[in-house]
Structures are given as C-alpha cells and as structure tokens.
C-alpha cells in the first residue's frame, strides 16, 4: 500500500507552526550565523587568527564541520530573526513529518496507531528544535531511518540515496558519523540475509564511508564526532548524562519502556531491529542531547509491532482493546499535493506572524556599551556566542564552539570562574582585564568581596574591571 503524505504533512506543519511561537536566540546560534556569513563570503574554516572571534585560541585553524548548516542559517538570517524562525519552522515540520511518515509507512492502513507510536519521539524532539545545525542532523537521521528500512525491505532506490544523504549530512552536522555506522550495519546484516542483493548493500556501505570524506575537512570530519562521543563535555547541560527524573528523561524512558514491551510481547520476532536500535540506544544513553535519536529510530519498530504487543498484553490481562479504525483506501497523490500546498501556506503565515526578535533576557545586553575593545575579556561560557555577534570589537575568552578551547583555555576558564587555586595567577598570565560573569559565579562574588570596580550589573550579569 502506498504511504499517503497527508497525515505526516499535516502533523509536520502543525508542529512547525507551533515552533514559530517559541523563543529564538539559542546561545550558539549567534556564532553559527557569524561563521555562516564567513562561509557565504567564501571563507570555509577561517583560521581563528583571521576571524578574530576569540583572543585565547588564536592558534586554532578553524573548523568546517558544519559549514553547510551554518551557511543555511546565515542565509536565513538575511531575513532577520523571522528568517531564522521560518527556517526552524520548516526544519521542525520536516523532522516531525519524517517521524510520522516513518511510522505510517509501517502501518499505512492504520494511521492512528502509527501516530500514537510517533508521539513520544515528536515530544522528545522538541528539545532539539533549536536554530542550530544540530536540527538539520536530526532531519538527516530521521530520513536515514526511513531509507534504511525501505532499503532493507527491498527498495533499491532507497539504498541508492543513502550515500548522497550522508554527503549532505557530513557537511551539515557532525552527527553524520552515527548515520554512516548505521548504514554499514544495516548493509552488513542485509548482505548476510539477502546475498542476492549483495551489490546494492556494498554500494550502501562503501558509499556511506566515502560520503563522509566528501567534506572540506575530509577524514578530519570524524574528529569532532569522535571527540564528543568518547569525551562528552559533561559540564555543558545538554551533554550531561540523561536523567530519567527530568521531563526529557521521562519521555526517553517511555520510549525505552515501549520498545522493551514490544520486543517482549509482539508475536513477530524482529531480530534485525537490533542492528539499528541497539547502537542508537547506546549513543542515546551517553548524553541528554542524543536521547531523541533513539526515540526517532524506535518509531517505525513501535508502529510496526507495537499493536501486536498491545493486543497480546491486553489479552493477557483480559482487557479488550478498542479496535482502531483502518483506512480502506489511502488518499491519492492529489491529496498529498494539496496537503503540501496547505502546509506551505500555514508555515508561511505562522512564520510571518511568529517570533520576530530573539529572547535576550538571559544575555548581558546592558553590559555591551561598557565592554573594552580588544583582547582581555573573560566572559561566561554561555554568552560567548552572543558577544561574538553583538560585540565584535571585543573578542571572547570562550564560546560554545568548545573545540578551539580544549588546549588549556577551558582549564584556565574553570580556574578563574570557580576561584580555584591560582585564579589570580591565571588572570595575570592571560592578561584578563574585564570579567563578564553571572552574579552567582564564585569569581563575581570574590571580586565584589575584594572591592574590584563594577562597571555594569543587573540580575543577569556583572561586568567587573580587573584592577
């Protein structure tokens, strides 16, 4: 049965439209846009000494990890914050639409059950609806899941499109590495189970590997994903360990529970699901920001077999489940086209009337006039991106790019901000002239104790001159 697009498109458009009402102004979006503008000017991976974004990582050679994603953001930003909101809405609509499509593809005759299976993943994906290249990575991941399942089910066309997808993904965001690994795993399992399709699977696996090298950084593109996978920066909240007592953790656990329950009770055994779901679960257990991956990957499995499991479980406890209505004949292509047109209109209206300005309540806006130009500012980590975009004459000490600062800068930052032994020595050695930190940071408290001059302050920030 053909998979109708009307439901995925409608649900995708609905959530895309909702996303236009959410705040915009993630701390990382600022530096992504600045780097994207450099890309649009022809400077992919501009060395730090030339870009002048920071004053502590001048030896950093620049990064091209997410150049395409950043260029997209910069292009959207040409239309101001509304442009970014519109891009995010389209991306969210695509992501949600793909999640729902993956579910309905498994049960085209029973869309309601499929949507139910997709709902936890949609809810969990809310935590990555940010205006960052990461969101594009999730779209690629959701698309890859669809392609791999279709390919394994017999569609040569789907497998053909895996390497091109990974080429695009590798240039959008570092999460491509997981996609390449999954493609290899599915291809290996498929080749063993269907030797007649060996050539197609070989293309998928080899193509996936080669695709990851088709970036400006070539093999170097694997550096960031490898680092983040094995050494996640736990001090950054989104890289912390998943917490099942928090809302995202609870949603994540609901998906795990549903997956276990389905695996236990579905009459159909599906061992090949392990090829995708086990590695993705492992990756998701590493850090909070990766939990939506498992939720997305599990959607088609839950849609395909969750009903069986629920029926079995209900029979066990002697409960009669309401029969879900089935669709005798799916709507035709004309309905799909109309749905796409309607969704475009809805998204356009929503973006035009949605959030128009960033939420800067968490940023040190009032400190900007008092910042000294040139090197010497130690800023709070979370504000690096904001300052890069809004105080270009004052290079930052650190920002959300993280990698440029691993060689000693982060250690020095931690020493000063936490008032650890030697903090004054670091200030002297680095030549720090101003501190722009949160009022509750130990260094802010200590500087006040010591009577250091305060240039500006609010509930959010304090700007202190180092005597």
Partner 1 sequence: VSWLARNAFPIGLAAAGFTLAVGLPTGDPDTYWHLVSGRWMLDHREILRTDIFSSTVAGQPYSVGEWLGEVVLALVFGMGQWTGLAIFRAFLVAIAAFSLARLARRGGAPLVAALLVVTWALVVSKTRWTDRPAIFTFVLFPVVLDLLYAARAGSRRALLAIPPLVLLWANLHGGYAIGIALVLAFTVEALVRRRPGAGAFALTLLASIALSFIDPETFGVGNAAAHALAPPRFISEEAPPDILEPSGLVFAAFVLAALGIAFLQGGGLLELLLLVPLLWLGLSAQRHLLFFVFAATPFIAAGAARLYVRIRRPTRSLRPMPAPAAAALALLLCAGALASAVGAPAVPDEHAYPTGAVDALRTGSGTLLHEYDWGGFLIFRVPERKVFVDGRLFPFYPAVLSDYRDAVELRPNWKDVLARYDVREVLLMPDKALAVALREDGWKVRAEGATFVLLARP
Interaction site with partner 1 (CB under 8 A): 230, 232, 234, 241-245, 249, 253, 256-257, 259-261, 263-266, 269-271, 273-274, 277-278, 281-282, 285-286, 313, 316-317, 418-421, 423, 439-440, 442, 445-446, 448-450
Nearer to partner 1, 261 or 327 (CB): 261
Nearer to partner 1, 78 or 243 (CB): 243
Structure tokens at 177: 């590495």
Q: CB atoms < 10 A from the CB of 313, how many?
A: 16
- In terms of Cβ atoms closer than 10 Å to its own Cβ (0-12, 13-18, 19+), residue 307 is buried
CA–CA distance, 225 with 170 (Å, rounded to integer): 10
Work out how close the CB of 143 gets to partner 1 at its nearest, in angstroms, rounded to a whole number.
24
CA–CA distance, 246 with 140 (Å, rounded to integer): 27
Nearer to partner 1, 188 or 263 (CB): 263
Work out how close the CB of 262 gets to partner 1 at its nearest, in angstroms, rounded to a whole number.
9
Nearer to partner 1, 390 or 457 (CB): 457
Nearer to partner 1, 153 or 241 (CB): 241
Q: How many CA atoms lie within 13 A of 317 on its CB side?
A: 8
Let me know how long the chain is: 467
Nearer to partner 1, 312 or 465 (CB): 312
Using CA of residue 145, residue 161, residue 206, residue 192, what is the dihedral sign?
positive
CA–CA distance, 342 with 14 (Å, rounded to integer): 11
Q: CB atoms < 10 A from the CB of 17, how many?
A: 21
Nearer to partner 1, 203 or 452 (CB): 452
Work out how close the CB of 444 gets to partner 1 at its nearest, in angstroms, rounded to a whole number.
8
Work out how close the CB of 317 gets to partner 1 at its nearest, in angstroms, rounded to a whole number.
6
Nearer to partner 1, 92 or 256 (CB): 256
Work out how close the CB of 44 gets to partner 1 at its nearest, in angstroms, rounded to a whole number.
32
Work out how close the CB of 239 gets to partner 1 at its nearest, in angstroms, rounded to a whole number.
11
Work out how close the CB of 255 gets to partner 1 at its nearest, in angstroms, rounded to a whole number.
12
Nearer to partner 1, 245 or 323 (CB): 245
Work out how close the CB of 285 gets to partner 1 at its nearest, in angstroms, rounded to a whole number.
5
Work out how close the CB of 154 gets to partner 1 at its nearest, in angstroms, rounded to a whole number.
21
């Amino acid at each position: 049965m053909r998979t109708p697009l009307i439901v995925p498109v409608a649900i995708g458009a609905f959530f895309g439209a909702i996303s236009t009402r959410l705040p915009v102004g993630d701390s990382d979006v600022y530096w992504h846009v600045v780097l994207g503008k450099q890309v649009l000017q022809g400077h992919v991976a501009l060395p730090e000494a030339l870009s002048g974004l920071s004053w502590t990582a001048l030896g950093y050679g620049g990064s091209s990890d997410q150049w395409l994603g950043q260029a997209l953001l910069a292009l959207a930003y040409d239309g101001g914050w509304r442009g970014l909101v519109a891009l995010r809405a389209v991306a969210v609509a695509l992501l949600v639409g793909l999640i729902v499509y993956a579910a309905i593809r498994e049960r085209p005759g029973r869309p309601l059950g499929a949507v139910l299976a997709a709902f936890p993943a949609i809810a969990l994906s809310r935590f990555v609806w940010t205006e960052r290249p990461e969101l594009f990575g999730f779209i690629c991941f959701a698309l890859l899941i669809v392609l791999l399942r279709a390919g394994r089910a017999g569609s040569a066309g789907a497998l053909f499109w895996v390497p091109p997808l990974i080429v695009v993904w590798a240039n959008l965001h570092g999460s491509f590495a997981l996609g390449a690994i999954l493609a290899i795993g599915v291809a290996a399992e498929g080749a063993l189970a269907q030797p007649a399709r060996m050539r197609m699977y070989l293309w998928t696996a080899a193509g996936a590997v080669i695709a990851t090298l088709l970036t400006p950084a070539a093999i170097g593109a694997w550096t960031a994903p490898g680092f983040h996978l094995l050494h996640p920066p736990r001090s950054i909240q989104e890289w912390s360990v998943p917490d099942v007592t928090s809302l995202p953790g609870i949603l994540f656990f609901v998906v795990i529970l549903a997956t276990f329950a389905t695996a236990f009770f579905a009459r159909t055994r599906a061992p090949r699901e392990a090829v995708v779901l086990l590695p993705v679960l492992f990756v998701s257990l590493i850090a909070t920001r990766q939990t939506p991956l498992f939720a997305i990957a599990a959607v088609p499995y839950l849609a395909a077999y969750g009903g069986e499991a629920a029926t079995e479980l209900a029979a066990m406890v002697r409960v009669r489940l309401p029969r879900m209505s089935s669709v005798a004949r799916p709507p035709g292509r004309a309905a799909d086209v109309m749905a796409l047109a309607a969704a475009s209109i809805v998204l356009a209206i929503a973006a035009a009337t949605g959030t128009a300005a960033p939420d800067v309540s968490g940023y040190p806006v009032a400190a900007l006039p008092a910042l000294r130009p040139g090197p010497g500012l130690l800023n709070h980590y979370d504000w690096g991106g904001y300052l890069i975009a809004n105080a270009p004459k004052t290079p930052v000490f650190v920002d959300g790019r993280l990698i440029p600062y691993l060689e000693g800068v982060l250690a020095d930052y931690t020493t000063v901000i936490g008032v650890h032994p030697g903090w004054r020595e670091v200030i002297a050695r680095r030549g720090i002239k101003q501190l722009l930190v949160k009022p509750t940071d130990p260094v802010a408290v200590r500087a006040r104790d010591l009577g250091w001059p305060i240039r500006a302050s609010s509930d959010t920030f304090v700007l202190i001159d180092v005597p």
